[in-house]
Amino acid sequence: MRAEIDDVIGSRPVSLADRDKMPFTDAVLTETLRAGNIAPFALPHTASYDVNWNGYLIPKGATIWPCLDSVMNDDDMFTDPEHFKPERFLDSEGKRLGNEKSVISFSLGRRVCLGESLARMEMFLFLVTIIQRFELKPSPTHRIPSLHGVVGTAHAPRPYHLCAIERT
């Protein structure tokens, strides 16, 4: 990713126009949203009538909490979902496959987060600027934390220490 950032942007400030020229960086962001999904559940829904689904009765009035985590970690949708693999969103030539809509971190349909486009743009700008300006390394005096964070109404990473070394 750093090589792509250095090749496309160099030392100038990043712009949103650069995103189309940076498929691997975009794939890293998409995989981060999939693997590091902070919202395990979407907004609740209420069944407006009795529904039989896969042999289960969902009665009228029942509250349904869509589990986004089950989708993001479904091995029918994502091969080896427990591994961080940005290349799952790229073809053999490194171009976007167009399958990033399968990542539903912001939910989908009528209840999709209205801030999704803005969030994705800001994530791109922040990530590229940080990688462009700093080398990130684990702290030499602290252990690298588990990738399994704390699960609750939101997923949160366990506390960790990181060294940000300015690039010259």
* SS3 of residue 156 by DSSP: strand
Sign of the C-alpha dihedral, residues 108, 111, 117, 118?
negative
The structure tokens 């970690």 sit at: 73
Annotation-wise, does 163 bind a ligand? no
In this structure, what token pair is assigned to residue 107?
């939910």
Q: How many CA atoms lie within 13 A of 1 on its CB side?
A: 21
Residue 48 to residue 61: CA distance in whole angstroms: 6
Residue ranges for the binding site for heme?
113
Residue ranges for the binding site?
113
